[in-house]
Chains A and B, each alone.
With several copies, the nearest count.
Chain A
Amino acid sequence: MKDREPVTVEARTQELELILEAVLFAASEPVSVKDLLAACSTVESGGPEREELDAALERLAAHYLHRSIELVRSVGGYRFRVRSRFSAQVQAAQPERPPRLSRALLETLAIIAYRQPVTRAEIEDIRGVAVSTQIMRTLTEREWVHVVGHKEVPGRPGLYATTRTFLDDLGLGRLDELPPLDDLRELVDLPSETADAEPPLASRSQEGEEEPPPGS
């Protein structure tokens, strides 16, 4: 520890906290510790070590403890996000809600996520229909999937895989944090058993569309 005046230490800590705040709010991606250190290196009394940075980050997080946003750490680094209890208000302020993703797109995405790397032909085999170019373009433009190579078969079709952005957008750290793929379901069962077999995540009302009442 260097011998600094207490006042100076306080001013320095405050300055570090503000620098981190500025950098984190200015960024559109999570900011890595390395980049945070680089930003802090401009401070007069010399850039901080990792330990001091962590302390400043904690102070910053504490400052927002009772506010509507929170400092979170993800794989790529630190970022601010709106606390989930304010999601509805944020949505209410948006003049147009983001469009729902079509089932065709979601099914294609699911197959790529669980079967990657996978060719378009293989996706089509599983879905039983052609995959539209529009869907592949949308997935690519959203940076959720990308071509990671080519299969060494005639035509050398592209092999699709999901991206880091896909995981980030779903708030996942790793691919295996996706809900596990169901075992093959027997094509005979009662609706009640079906519901039991499903994990709670998928308990949304839309599950209803799968099983019309038996008595029809």
Chain B
Amino acid sequence: MTEAEVDELERPLEADWSCRVNGSPMGDMPADLYIPPDALEVFLESFEGPLDLLLYLIRRQNLDILSIPIAEITRQYMAYIEVMQALRLELAGEYLVMAALLAEIKSRMLLPRPAGSAEDDEEDPRLALIRQLQEYERFKTAAERIDDIPRLERDVFHAHAARDALAAPPAPAPALDDLIEALVGVLRRASLSAHHQISAEALSVRERMTRILETLEHREFVDFVSLLVVSEGRPGVVVAFLAVLELSKGGMLEWGQGEAFGPIQVRRRMAEVVES
């Protein structure tokens, strides 16, 4: 049973408090416990603890704890505990501790007090308990008031609109490390075959392949030699040459020679269909 349900049940039940319904009293139940046993279980479960129960008993008696015999309160309290046990409710240790405390107070009240000096030292054993009860009651009331304050999503509603039509901010460029890590992941996954797959070609060759393709974008023949940039020195020429070979092998270049011994020309190869 949820707490909410308990709360729901609590109110009608209290209205019936003084009525006897199905009134078969149980065992040693005190004479004023006129609650049907089924409802009693709900009723007792609704107490938040021994202080709550004790507070209820005292308020119900409408008596000053200082002026009533503690014995009476103790008797009633113990009766409730017995009922709880009879109903096989899970009896929290706190209830039993409270019962013990009440019994202790009762016993101390019975002891004759030595006259004179000791009177000031020894406080009335009921005082500490009363302070605790009073303190608890303040917060019990405060809790109810907090619950009464209009609360967001129960009584008060904010107005908002969905953001899903809004464009998300673009992801930042990857860090070099992220890129490397991703590639290492691919290589690792590809395991042995990766050695054949991703060959250790110099990146400069791959880059030059891209640049040559970009240069040849317009599909006009250019002088092959013009692709070999002499100003980059020998390594540059070699890189460009390898790039041209790679592209040719991939079927991406087309060769031509306008005249015998004329300059060797090269252009991007296009499918025949696209032409005309």
A79 touches B162 (CB 8 A): yes
Q: Does A187 contact B (CB under 8 A)?
A: yes
A126 on the B face (CB < 8 A): yes
Note all chain B residues with C-beta closer than 8 A to A190: 62
Say yes or no: is B206 at the interface (Cβ < 8 Å to chain A): yes
Give residues 102-160 of A contacting B (CB, 8 Å): 102-107, 109-111, 113-117, 125-130, 142, 144, 148-153, 156, 159
Say yes or no: is A205 at the interface (Cβ < 8 Å to chain B): yes
- List which A6-50 residues lie within 8 A (CB) of chain B: 22, 25-28
B234 at the interface (CB under 8 A from A): no
Name the B residues within 8 Å of A203 (CB-CB): 193
**What 19 new A-B contacts, CB under 8 Å, besides A149-B268, A206-B193?**
A26-B159, A79-B161, A95-B169, A109-B174, A130-B94, A142-B173, A152-B271, A161-B213, A170-B151, A184-B138, A187-B130, A188-B64, A201-B148, A202-B141, A202-B194, A202-B197, A208-B11, A216-B17, A216-B200
Which residue on chain B has the smallest CB distance to residue A130?
B94
The answer to the question of B117 belonging to the interface, with a C-beta cut-off of 8 Å to chain A, is: no
Q: Which of chain B's residues has its CB closest to A95's CB?
A: B169
Distance in angstroms from B87 CB to nearest chain A CB is: 19
* B interface residues with partner A (beta carbon < 8 Å): 2-4, 7, 10-11, 14, 17-18, 32, 46, 48-52, 58-60, 62-67, 92, 94, 98, 130-176, 178-207, 209-210, 213-214, 216-217, 242, 245-246, 249-252, 268-271, 274
User: Once the chains bind, are A127 and B191 in contact (CB under 8 Å)?
Assistant: no
Nearest Cβ distance between residue A66 and chain B, in whole angstroms?
Answer: 15
Number of chain A residues whose Cβ lies closer than 8 Å to a Cβ of chain B: 97
Query: A184-B138, A212-B17 are contacts. A99–B145 as well, Cβ < 8 Å?
Result: no
The docked-state distance in angstroms from the alpha carbon of A162 to that of B213 is 12
Q: Which chain B residues border A192 with CB–CB below 8 Å?
A: 188, 191
**A contact set with B: CB distance below 8 Å:** 22, 25-28, 69-70, 79-84, 86-87, 90-91, 95-96, 98-107, 109-111, 113-117, 125-130, 142, 144, 148-153, 156, 159, 161-162, 168-172, 174-176, 178-182, 184-188, 190-192, 195-196, 198-216
Residues in A neighbouring B246, C-beta threshold 8 A: 213
Q: B199 contacts which chain A residues (CB < 8 A)?
A: 181, 210, 212-213, 216
Given known A-B contacts A84-B167, A169-B152, A152 and B252 have beta carbons under 8 A apart: yes
One of A110, A125, A200 near B191 (C-beta < 8 A): A200
Docked-complex contact B191 and A202, CB < 8 angstroms? yes
What are the residues of chain B within 8 A of A178 when measuring CB–CB? 142, 146, 176, 179, 203
Please give me the 5 A-B residue pairs with the lowest Cβ-Cβ distance, nearest first.
Answer: A102-B3, A129-B49, A188-B64, A169-B173, A25-B159
Question: Are B190 and A99 in touch, CB under 8 angstroms?
Answer: no
Known contacts: A82-B158, A84-B150, A127-B186. The answer to whether A184 contacts B135 by CB under 8 A is yes
Contact of B152 with A213 in the complex, beta carbons under 8 Å? no
8 A-B pairs whose Cβ atoms sit less than 8 Å apart in the complex: A79-B161, A96-B168, A101-B171, A109-B174, A126-B186, A161-B210, A170-B149, A179-B142
Contacts of A212 in B (CB 8 A): 14, 17-18, 60, 196, 199
Also in contact, A127 and B51, with CB within 8 A (given A151-B252, A202-B193): yes
In the bound complex, how far is the Cα of B167 from the Cα of A82, in angstroms?
A: 11
Q: Is the CB of B159 within 8 A of A156?
A: no
